[in-house]
Amino acid sequence: MTDDDFQTSAAKSANTRLACPQDFISDAPFEFELGGSVPSLTLRYETHGTLNADRSNAILVCHALSGDHHVAGQHTPADRKPGWWDAFVGPGCPLDTERFFIIGVNCVGGCQGSTGPLSPNPATGLPYGADFPQLTMRDMVRAQRLLVRGLGIERLHAVIGGSMGGMQGLVWAVDFPQDTGRVVALACAANQNARAIAFNEIGRVAIMSDPAWRGGHYALGAGPKAGLALARMLGHVTYLSEAGMGRRFGRRAQEGACPANVVVERGPFHAEFAVESYLNYQGLTFTERFDANSYLAITKAADRFDLAAGRSLEAVFAPVRARVCLIGFSSDLLYPPADNHDVLAALLRAGKNATYTELETDAGHDAFLLPTAELFQAIRNGIE
Amino acid sequence: MTDDDFQTSAAKSANTRLACPQDFISDAPFEFELGGSVPSLTLRYETHGTLNADRSNAILVCHALSGDHHVAGQHTPADRKPGWWDAFVGPGCPLDTERFFIIGVNCVGGCQGSTGPLSPNPATGLPYGADFPQLTMRDMVRAQRLLVRGLGIERLHAVIGGSMGGMQGLVWAVDFPQDTGRVVALACAANQNARAIAFNEIGRVAIMSDPAWRGGHYALGAGPKAGLALARMLGHVTYLSEAGMGRRFGRRAQEGACPANVVVERGPFHAEFAVESYLNYQGLTFTERFDANSYLAITKAADRFDLAAGRSLEAVFAPVRARVCLIGFSSDLLYPPADNHDVLAALLRAGKNATYTELETDAGHDAFLLPTAELFQAIRNGIE
């Protein structure tokens, strides 16, 4: 079976379930690591499978920058797309809902129902916008833990996630060793490297230089559409690889009506190639589902991520009790696989149970989203 | 001697000469490959060294996207910076001005004195702006050839250039085999790959979605500054490598006054890292010397570049008489070294005298701009 066949069959079998988003509300003020607070915290989440009697079978799924709590299934039968990890979650899937209780949660600072820049600022009654407290990865993890405890779970069987979600898995292992049984961290690193910061910064400047950003205070639906589309276009390229883009698009010409014209009036500079049209379309549709201030807040949190923060990684890993399974992808542009070697070495030197599995692929950073037999087995091994 | 020492000593010895830009004017209409024409053509150029009696010692230097005719020396003693390849051109340098007559020329479509979007459109009396004819790499080469013939040169000893300049070298070899003695093509490929198109497209959308672009018709000095700065910021990242950026910037914090705030008002989303500040500065200063419509025109020409264009490269190379020296750089993100293998193989199958030299470096695509002993010798070998 080829990877493509595998993906098709995996998608067919899994995407016919309904998922029901719920809101967890913590009425206490939530203090942010870099200062500021919100008077209460709402976290939108969804679950799959059944929590067992001793509450020992929960797996927390942490999403990447543009993801959310909606990991699998459909919210309504009319939904065009299922959750972002649909093929990975279900009966018999790597995150087997017959064995495990799967929790997906939108991060604090997000825009899919959790407290974030779209939430009302009690000082003004208007959305926080750019006045939402500055965010870190640790804020997201502390918020997730409130939810986990709220669900009556003392210890997670596992925390799993890709990209920013993988970083959060590492934070769980370090900050809450008692609570974290296993970590499966895909396509990530122990800090944000200079180039990843640079790509995020370009996306931010694109948003902030769009006049519709208005200093971070725009009306709902009137946000910086072109700027956010640009940020997404760039993000999207960094999630792919040169070889993968060559295979998928190459120099194929754009034929027929070009949705690229929708993002911006281009005069005579048409989108001549399929890859241009595709990117414009991706950028455009992203603006329909994502908030620009959330994009700023979350990319800032990712850029600030530095697990060692001036200490040695080995020392930082000392408290870890979790078994840690790192999974990297050969063509990942954002977090080159070599970065995992340092994380693995530090975990081993700290005497921890850790492995690193590197998968050969031309799917780039996005490989963690694509079902393949190899990745499924690597994840099974990690949460076993 | 380390590479850094080498660069310092190379720079010191070479950058104290004055260069004098000149204008070549072809009074005949210049027809563009994709349609349209200009009534006459101006090409700004500069030369170094002396053309010998039989006019056989000329080397044409073709610049990259953001380069120009000013390859070496200073235009006035007060110039802050010398030409872009200063260390490479001079007595005893790889482009030895005691032996060779070096010609640098701003490409048609450029904005440093050659006919381009800033030139007056005879139909309106105003700059062409976005109405400048759509451009190709072959247009640039045909224009260069008018200059070369205008200087009384029938056959170039060599054509040399990096990135887009290397592509032009390959076009010279294919389109004008009698005129082209040698080609040294650095950091390039035989076509523009999908990812390189994608990066360029994002830069273009950044420019075109800046309201100051005004459909490509803006007043001089009132162009899309933020959009062009964004395009340059992204371009700049693609010219570097992850390892190189890690070595140069890493996660170093930005200290003191932050020029990043100049490009765009950022509210609370400060540029916290040195790499962010650096990129903002690079973007900003670029807008002082480059025209946004030229950026659009030239990136389009680069994206359209496809030497094979549906045929086999081997067949396309059949007429070549030049000795071809390809030079690639291990960490080049835009034109991965592997792309050169295909070009070399096609040249060899076509029975041509061709070599490929791959240099190990973390300097990325920009490596072709940095003097090292290895690169100097590789170039010497190529033009010998």
Alpha helices (H) along chain B:
3-14, 137-150, 164-175, 194-208, 225-239, 242-248, 260-263, 274-286, 292-304, 313-316, 338-349, 373-383
pLDDT band for position A198 (cuts 50, 70, 90): very high
The more confidently predicted of residues B141 and A80 is: B141
ipTM of the complex: 0.95
pLDDT band for position A267 (cuts 50, 70, 90): confident
**CATH of the domain spanning B3-191+307-383:** 3.40.50.1820
Cα–Cα distance, A309 to A316 (Å, whole number): 9
Q: Does residue B56 carry a catalytic annotation?
A: no
- Give the predicted TM-score (pTM) of the model: 0.95
* B104-141 confidence digits (pLDDT tens): 999 999 999 999 999 999 999 999 999 999 999 999 99
Contacts of B284 in chain A (CB under 8 A): none
Provide the pLDDT for residue A338: 87
Provide the pLDDT for residue A7: 60
pLDDT band for position A255 (cuts 50, 70, 90): confident
**CATH of the domain spanning A3-191+308-383:** 3.40.50.1820
Average pLDDT value for residue range A118-137: 97
Assign A128 to helix, strand or coil. Answer: coil
Please give the share of chain A, as a percent, with pLDDT higher than 70: 94
Domain A198-296 in this protein, CATH class: mainly alpha
Closest CA to B158 of B135, B179, B130: B179
In this structure, what DSSP letter does residue A28 have?
S
Provide the pLDDT for residue A15: 47
Provide the pLDDT for residue B264: 85
Provide the pLDDT for residue B15: 47
Closest CA to B75 of B15, B24, B12, B25: B15
Assign A348 to helix, strand or coil. Answer: helix
Residue A9 has pLDDT above 70, yes or no: no
**Residue position matching structure tokens 């973390």:** B362
Helix or strand run (H / E) with residue A260: helix A260-263
Provide the pLDDT for residue A30: 98
Average pLDDT value for residue range A83-108: 97
Average pLDDT value for residue range B364-378: 98
**CATH of the domain spanning B198-295:** 1.10.1740.110
Provide the pLDDT for residue B17: 78
Assign B142 to helix, strand or coil. Answer: helix
Q: Does residue B163 carry a catalytic annotation?
A: yes
A191: its two tokens:
């800090």
* B49-92 confidence digits (pLDDT tens): 999 999 999 999 999 999 999 999 998 888 889 999 999 999 99
Mean pLDDT is lowest, of A95-109, A177-191, B252-266, B333-347, for B252-266
Overall residue count recorded for chain A in this entry: 384
Mutate to test the interface with B, among A137, A213, A242, A248 (most CBs of B within 10 A): A242
Nearest CA in chain A to B228: A206
Provide the pLDDT for residue B32: 98
Contacts of B194 in chain A (CB under 8 A): 242, 245-246, 248-251, 273, 275
The shortest CB-CB distance from A209 to any of B199, B230, B271 is to: B230
Q: Does residue A163 carry a catalytic annotation?
A: yes
Cα–Cα distance, A287 to A276 (Å, whole number): 17
Provide the pLDDT for residue A10: 54
- Residue B280: HSE in the Cβ half-sphere, 13 Å Cα cutoff: 28
Residue A37 has pLDDT above 80, yes or no: yes
Average pLDDT value for residue range A274-289: 95
A120: its two tokens:
């009302």
Q: How far is CA A49 from CA A103, A150, B146, in A?
A: 9, 17, 73
Residue B350 has pLDDT above 60, yes or no: yes
For CATH 3.40.50.1820, the residue range(s) in chain A are: 3-191+308-383
Provide the pLDDT for residue B12: 45
For CATH 1.10.1740.110, the residue range(s) in chain B are: 198-295
* A347-358 confidence digits (pLDDT tens): 999 999 999 999
Question: Pick the catalytic residue: B86, B96, B291, B332?
Answer: B332
Residue B146 has pLDDT above 50, yes or no: yes
For CATH 1.10.1740.110, the residue range(s) in chain A are: 198-296
For CATH 3.40.50.1820, the residue range(s) in chain B are: 3-191+307-383
Q: Are A271 and A134 in contact (CB under 8 A)?
A: no
Residue A332 has pLDDT above 60, yes or no: yes
Q: What is the dihedral of CA B33, B38, B39, B41, to 10 degrees?
A: -90
A295: Cβ contacts below 8 Å, ≥ 6 apart: A65, A203, A204, A207, A228, A231
Average pLDDT value for residue range A352-374: 98
Question: Pick the catalytic residue: A163, A241, A277, A294?
Answer: A163
Cα–Cα distance, B91 to B88 (Å, whole number): 10
Provide the pLDDT for residue B7: 60
pLDDT band for position A16 (cuts 50, 70, 90): low
The more confidently predicted of residues A176 and A76 is: A176
* B305-314 confidence digits (pLDDT tens): 999 999 999 9
Q: Measured between CB atoms, does A192 come within 8 Å of chain B?
A: yes
CB proximity under 8 Å: A 29-88 to B: none
Average pLDDT value for residue range B15-22: 80
Q: Measured between CB atoms, does B198 come within 8 Å of chain A?
A: yes
| A-to-B residue pairs, Cβ atoms closer than 8 angstroms | 177
Please give the share of chain B, as a percent, with pLDDT higher than 90: 88
Contacts of B268 in chain A (CB under 8 A): 130-131, 134, 216
Residue B223 has pLDDT above 70, yes or no: yes
Separation in Å, CA of B250 to nearest CA in chain A = 5
CB proximity under 8 Å: B 200-229 to A: 201-202, 204-206, 208-211, 215-216, 226-227, 229
**Residue position matching structure tokens 């970083």:** A167
pLDDT band for position A121 (cuts 50, 70, 90): very high
Provide the pLDDT for residue A76: 87
Q: How far is CA A30 from CA A33, A40, A123, A289, A300, in A?
A: 10, 6, 16, 26, 19
Provide the pLDDT for residue B152: 98
